[in-house]
Structure 1
Amino acid sequence: MSKGFWMSTLSCLIIIGLGSGGAYIIHRSAENQLAGQPLLAVQTSAKTVTPVAKTKPQKTRKEIIEDSQKRVVTIESGSGLGSGFLYNNEGDLLTNAHVVAGSAQVTVRTLNHKEYKGKVIGIGTDIDIAVVRVQELKKLDPLPVAERYKPEIGDEILALGSPLGLENTVTTGIISGLGRSFDIDSYTYSNLYQISAPITHGNSGGPLVNAETGEVLGINSAAATEESGIGFSIPISSILQQAREWSKTPMTKLPAIADGDEYGTDSGGAVGDERDIVAYFYQSLSNGDYVTAYSLLGSDWQSGISYENFRAGYLNTGYITLDHLSLEEQADGAMVRVEITAEERRKSGTVYQSYRMSYTVGYENGELKILHGKGKKIQ
């Protein structure tokens, strides 16, 4: 394939953010075999019978999906929404760095819709991986990891995550290419798996799973374009050692993110900067908590619209995902810009509409508020 083709293709690459573990696999010849001892023959009056080593029945595709989904989570942070998965029995989740960038704490939601606070204990600045610890998930069985996997084009795979906020979604495909490398923003991606399973915003950090064994092969991290159907996954074998180092020795201070801002959310979960209140506003709308969302608006905005009319304007809106959340400091506050994708229920059916929004955020009576906002559709 020509260098020119890849250069033109890579110019369209996107990180699929706003929008994955390490268990040792032990192979046994028989379930009841003693370490270092042979299986014993059983004597009968007629003949000697040598028992046949039992093999664990292979899981069906459905069973692999069901087992995997229990260990995959949705992650919400100041950067938006992504995915992650349990990779050890310490309650540690693997995800992409761009999913949690700028947040010391994140919200983690499991398959049964329980929510927990997660602490970022390790994050890369040039490699797009991070580890989030959730104490309440400690001792749960992690996803098995294919540490010595040798990929071949045509291997069947499953991609799990929360694309566009649609939690517990599974897409299927194959490994369609090997050895892909490129740079996106501050991250360097090397020796990636190219996959045909459709992935998009919200899939970031989710696991790429072997459809035959249920083992994690990689972390889904980027897509060529929204329409291409080509995604890219970081091989789990290339980042597992770094993840384990963070789990063993968590970072005492997280590094500054790309634009130089420090991580804003402290251990108490307080709002760290103006981006967090905008992310919280949309999280509240997604959860149907219109009272909280309305309370985040400044008095001038509230004077122009009653709570009843505010609520009515969002009743047909489902989940909202965020992307490209940025901050521009101003003399009297800050300008927060964000691109959102909203699930909108219309008479013709459900559509996903994207918008580019700008908000003026500042303090009012000692509290941070969203003072004004405007936006337009992205065609």
Structure 2
Amino acid sequence: MKNKWIISGVLTFLILGGGTYYFLYMKENIPMQLTASSNLIKATDEDVSEPQVELKDLKEVIHETQKLVVKIELEDGSLGSGFLYNDKGDIVTNAHVVANAKEVKVNTTDSKEFTGEVIGISNDTDIAVVRVEGLKEVAPLKIARTRTAEIGDEVLALGSPLGFQNTVTTGIISGLERDLNIDNFKYEDVYQISAPIAPGNSGGPLVDRKTGEVLGINSAASNQGTIGFSIPITDVLPLIEGWSETPMTSLPNVSFQSEQPLFDGGGSIEEYAQYVVNYFYESLNFGDYVTAYSLLGSSWQSKTNYTDFRKGYLDTTSVYVEEIILSNEEEAVTAVATIVADERNNGANKTARYKVTYELGYENDQLKLLSGKGEEIK
């Protein structure tokens, strides 16, 4: 009987002790769990957050974008711009750039020329799509599919104003939701931009200065001041994608006069020569040896194959043009440039300055570096 009382007392003590411990544990920990962030909510927040967009250097954005912007020419000599939208070889441009044309000439930055077919065009919205078979499988520009621009966003406008292919101007989004009518086209909720644009810019991309994403299609400019207008790409994506999936079998007549007649050589040959020399070294600076090599004339390329050309610049870590002096003789231009290069030499880095002299002239309507020579400035 005594043993039973002892066992009963022990059990009672254990029950009371366990209950007290559980009460104290609940009092200490449950409030903390109630105020702690939910793992489910945390996981959900991480899942729905938008991916971080990579920010890029200005020169990097320009270089990557320029290669995918084209000049569009019609038989009557009028011109405009466009940009590669997808890997089917589809070029987005303005309807008024390719109005009433079935086929157009498309020129790329590396001086290649293609024939493009208009596969979609609107007579209400100033948008058209040109398919270029030769540009299939080429990686296109990145499109801001869900993000719209805001006032103050820094932007780049690329195109071929007055025939100067792949000219870049900078500015900001200076206005939103602008409405205007030009001939039969209605421009609704378009961006107003401060980046200067001119005839030939139409159809070129409006690019985010920090990410390189296409925000809009440059379409019109004010006659006064440096005010331009760009159609938000998000507003016309369904139209563009519809034509890409199902090209139009017959094209409507578009009552809009095409832009500016193409000037001889797109401006003065000296200005174009300066652009070509700068673009040559810009391509080298980014390791884009293919584009740089394409700027050489056929005679130079016949004497120097691509492999040897590339090998000659592999130890150049960076290079830029310090000064260019141009002289013009009839259809040829001599460019004397001072360049600064950072080079690797037997494991050591050094900075050197060179004087280089180029002869430039036209081949198949494209200005090329026909010959060149250089010497180090001691």
- TM tier relative to shorter chain: 0.5 to 0.7
- What CA deviation, in whole Å up to 9, does each residue of 1:104-133 have, x standing for no partner? 100000010110000000001010000000
TM-score, L = length of structure 2: 0.55
* Equivalent residues in 2 for 1:73-92, closer than 5 Å: 73-78=70-75, 80-92=78-90
2:61 to 60, 64, 80: 64
SS at match of 1:113: coil
Instruction: Give the drift of 1:78.
Output: 4.0
Q: In the alignment, which residue of structure 1 is the partner of 2:248?
A: 251
* Equivalent residues in 2 for 1:162-311, closer than 5 Å: 162-225=160-223, 227-258=224-255, 285-286=264-265
Instruction: Give the drift of 1:59.
Output: 1.9
Output the amino acid matched with 1:160. L
Greater RCO, CA 8 A, separation 6+:
1
Matched, 1:153 2:151: yes
* CA–CA distance in structure 1, aligned partners of residues 122 and 54 of structure 2: 39
Say if 2:72 and 2:107, in contact at 8 Å, map to a contact too.
yes
- What CA deviation, in whole Å up to 9, does each residue of 1:65-118 have, x standing for no partner? 100001100000146110000011000000000000021100000010110000
| Distance 1:317-1:65 versus aligned 2 partners, 3 A rule | closer
SS at match of 1:242: helix
Q: In the alignment, which residue of structure 1 is the partner of 2:362?
A: none
Where is the helix percentage greater, Structure 1 or Structure 2?
A: 2
Say if 1:178 and 1:192, in contact at 8 Å, map to a contact too.
yes
| Larger Rg computed on CA atoms | 2
Taking only the aligned residue pairs, the percentage that are identical comes to 54
Output the amino acid matched with 1:84. G
1:120 to 118, 121, 142: 118
Instruction: Give the drift of 1:151.
Output: 2.2
Output the amino acid matched with 2:251. L
* CA–CA distance in structure 1, aligned partners of residues 191 and 270 of structure 2: 38
| Distance 1:143-1:318 versus aligned 2 partners, 3 A rule | closer
Instruction: Give the drift of 1:149.
Output: 1.3
Output the amino acid matched with 2:108. T
* CA–CA distance in structure 1, aligned partners of residues 168 and 80 of structure 2: 14
Structure 1 gap ranges (5+): 1-37, 39-53, 262-274, 289-313, 320-344, 347-379
* CA–CA distance in structure 2, aligned partners of residues 154 and 57 of structure 1: 19
Number of paired residues? 224
Output the amino acid matched with 1:112. D
SS at match of 2:64: helix
Q: In the alignment, which residue of structure 2 is the partner of 1:142?
A: 140
SS at match of 2:206: strand
SS at match of 1:66: helix
Structure 2 gap ranges (5+): 1-42, 44-50, 274-327, 330-378
